[in-house]
Amino acid sequence: MLVITGRDLSKQGGNSDLTFVILDIDGRNVTNISYAAAIDWGLTQHNPYGLVLLLATGIKTMTIGFPTPLLYKRSLRFAVTVSEPGVAQIVAHVIHGGV
């Protein structure tokens, strides 16, 4: 059994924010949200949902966090779907380890 304690995805460029961040654990979807939806839902500030979008000049970072580490047995899929032009770079980080 493995533990995931941190995950974030940074996007540079794009103008419509129709880039989706997807997290699946053991074949079940945990989140699938676009940068545009995170902005529309007000997830740019502290909230109880585990999703925060951090905005900086030219770079937007989606962070997925939970109060306790997430456990997975078979698979962890952290993916991105880019559905907008002009995205120059995507950088993802996943911090994980064993139990």
24 assigned to some structural domain: yes
Three-state helix/strand/coil letters over 15-82: CCCCEEEEEEECCEEEEEEEHHHHHHCCCCCCCCCCEEEEEECCEEEEEECCCCCEEECCCEEEEEEE
Average pLDDT per run of 10 along the chain, which is 99 residues long?
76 95 92 95 88 92 83 88 96 78
In a domain, 62, yes or no: yes
Look up the domain containing 52 and give its range.
Answer: 2-84
How confident is the model at residue 94, as a pLDDT? 82
- State residue 81's pLDDT score: 96
pLDDT of 54: 93
- Taking a C-beta distance cutoff of 8 angstroms, is the pair 81, 2 a contact? no
With respect to residue 98, please indicate whether it lies within any of the assigned structural domains: no
Decide if 93 is inside a domain. Answer: no
8 Å CB contact between 13 and 81: no
Taking the whole predicted model, whether its pTM rises above 0.85 is answered as: yes
